[in-house]
Structure 1
Amino acid sequence: MARTAPSRDRSRLLYKAAYALRRPGRVPRYARRSLRDAMLRARYGRDHVAYYRAVMASDSERSAESAVGGPTSSREAWLRIGKWQYEYLLAHGLKPADRLLEIGCGNLRAGWRLMRYLEPGHYYGIDISPHILLSAKDTVVRYGLQDRLPHLTLTDNLSFDFLPADHFTVIHAHSVFSHTPLEVIEECFEHVGRILAPGGFFDLTFDRTEGREHHVLREDFYYRTETLAALAARHGLSAELMADWEAMPHGQSKLRIRADR
């Protein structure tokens, strides 16, 4: 059975107070995150890429797994979540000949499995964080994947202007748009159709709400499905909520985006 979409507004004071009473041990961490948020907002203003790059740099000081999976993430969770992503794509027809772009590839939680499966040179990962891409290179070495010729590229936007048109049969973004304001998502939707190959698809996960859309600090964003689908349609894309992904116990929803051609 599909899980129920979250509808609680985590930005409201009442929710925060109740959460603090239930989990008092997490209050100091939230206080540290709030202080960091205030400092980074003052420094970077509305430049979300610069803001979140600094967040990733801060989290990477603890560990790369923490940076891509949250403060409680372990090596076991890193492997488990990456395996879910990989097996889901295989179940939906991923083939070795596919050309795959992973947006927000991180330290290759799913990417190492994908590049091992795909033909050499067919995995392309981009990320905004130089710290996490250095860790991604370590992952390539750890799993002996140098001969898969992966492309790992630092980026500061989602215009994809350095990538070829009609090239990628699969585009994948896990736990990226759950940390992204709407204007950055729109930039992605405006340009992603150009690089999608005919018949290709773009899978993205997001934190879903059925109530008021909101964010917690500038790190965690909650959207209605209808909002993202309408934004995609504005740029000639169709969006489908993936019910089979909803049934998995990972806490996020998934949209499949296709170019209307």
Structure 2
Amino acid sequence: MQDATPPEPRLLKNRSRLGHKLRYALTHPQRIVPHLRRAARDCRLRLKHRGDHVGFYRAVMASDTARSPEAAVGGVPSHARWLAIGQMQYDYLVAHGLRPEDRMLEIGCGNLRAGWRFIEHLEPGHYYGIDISPDILIEAKKTVVRYGLQRKLPYLTPVDDLKLDFLPDAAFTVVHAHSVFSHSPLEVIDECLAHVGRVLAPGGFFDFTYDRTEGHEHHVLGEDFYYRTETLVRLAAKHGLVAHFMDDWERLPHGQSKLRLTHPVAAS
């Protein structure tokens, strides 16, 4: 771990530009038709949920979950990959201090790709998962049953924003969000960071991943968002949180970057 200074630039290209799309299409012709179908679907959903990104992405998740619950969470191509990405998240957090006695909030828990391992590791009642998609939370409940984790009493709750106003102060020693901010416009991230410090216990930490760019910040189809690290670091500071760039996370096979936020006292 180091202070929020990322390593060498990883992404300079702007995936929203027509030139990039044409070059990508020429090298991946088999993906043209699926992309056009997704673009048409997203256009229809954006018109239906105009100005409401959470409503739009909830509809995206409903559509994706209906086709494949596992693919809906990060677009994983197989069950083996779904398991591997969950294992990677779990191993990383355990190596970085996740203890059975911790109280954990997972933002965007999905169908518990990593969550079932967290639930198994933590003491009963110490895992709280939230997601904007009721459809994916139904799949999360099925995951709890599949792995026999009922005795662990996990909490799974749908939300319609990231204000976290229904949760008590300083309730969680660990907050985790994997592939959430990579699908969020800046105002949604700002809302989360404005409130997560209240529910984060002293000495606790909030880990989140994001799609990092060292070039122009942009999005693709209103689904995938690319941010400069300094943008998120400044946003965290605005809300009284200190950011650390997790450089060892960069060496893992996942494609995203990770920041850890703490209260200032814990960072001193």
- Equivalent-residue separation in structure 1 for 2:221 and 2:245 (angstroms): 26
Report the equivalent of 2:188: 184
Q: CA deviation at 1:3?
A: 7.3
1:3–1:81 distance in 2 versus 1, CA, 3 Å: farther
Following superposition of structure 1 onto structure 2, how do residues 160-171 of structure 1 map, counting pairs within 5 Å?
Answer: 160-171=164-175
Q: Deviations over 1:197-246 (max 9, x none)?
A: 00000000000000000000110000000000001101101111100001
1:41 aligns with 2:46: yes
Kindly indicate whether residue 24 of structure 2 is the aligned counterpart of residue 19 of structure 1.
Answer: yes
Structure 1: distance between partners of 2:14 and 2:83: 30
Taking structure 2 as the reference length, what is the TM-score of the superposition? 0.95
**Greater RCO (CA < 8 Å, at least 6 residues apart):** 2
Q: Is the 8 A contact 1:3 1:246 kept in 2?
A: no
Matched with 1:7 is 12
Amino acid at match of 1:48: H
- Percent of residue pairs identical: 65
Structure 2: how far apart are the matches of 1:114 and 1:15? Answer: 38
Secondary structure (helix, strand or coil) at the match of 2:189 reads: helix
Alpha-carbon displacement from aligned partner over 1:91-127 (angstroms, at most 9, x marks no partner): 0011000000000000000000000010000000000
- 1:85 counterpart residue number: 89
Displacement of 1:259 in angstroms is 1.9
CA displacement at 1:260 relative to structure 2: 2.2
Q: Does 1:69 align with 2:74?
A: yes
CA–CA distance in structure 2, aligned partners of residues 118 and 15 of structure 1 = 44
Is residue 158 of structure 2 the alignment partner of residue 139 of structure 1? no
Match of residue 60 from structure 1: 65
Question: In 2, distance between residues paired with 1:147 and 1:121?
Answer: 9
> Aligned to 2:242, what secondary structure does the other structure show?
strand
Unaligned residue ranges in structure 2 (runs of 5+): 1-6
Q: What is the alpha-carbon distance in structure 2 between the residues aligned to residue 156 and residue 73 of structure 1?
A: 28
Aligned to 1:110: 114
Runs (4+) off by over 2 Å: none
SS of match in other structure, 1:61: helix
Unaligned 5+ segments in structure 1 are none
Q: Paired residue for 1:149, among 153, 170, 176?
A: 153
Q: Following the alignment from structure 1 to structure 2, what is the Cα–Cα distance between the partners of residues 219 and 57?
A: 14
Partner SS for 1:81: helix
Offset, 1:73? 2.2
Amino acid at match of 1:119: E
> For residue 37 of structure 1, what is the amino acid of its counterpart?
D
1:46-92 Cα deviation digits (max 9, x unpaired)? 1011000000000011111011021x521001100000000000000
Compute the RMSD of aligned alpha carbons. 1.0
Q: 1:177 and 1:256 mapped to 2: Cα distance?
A: 13
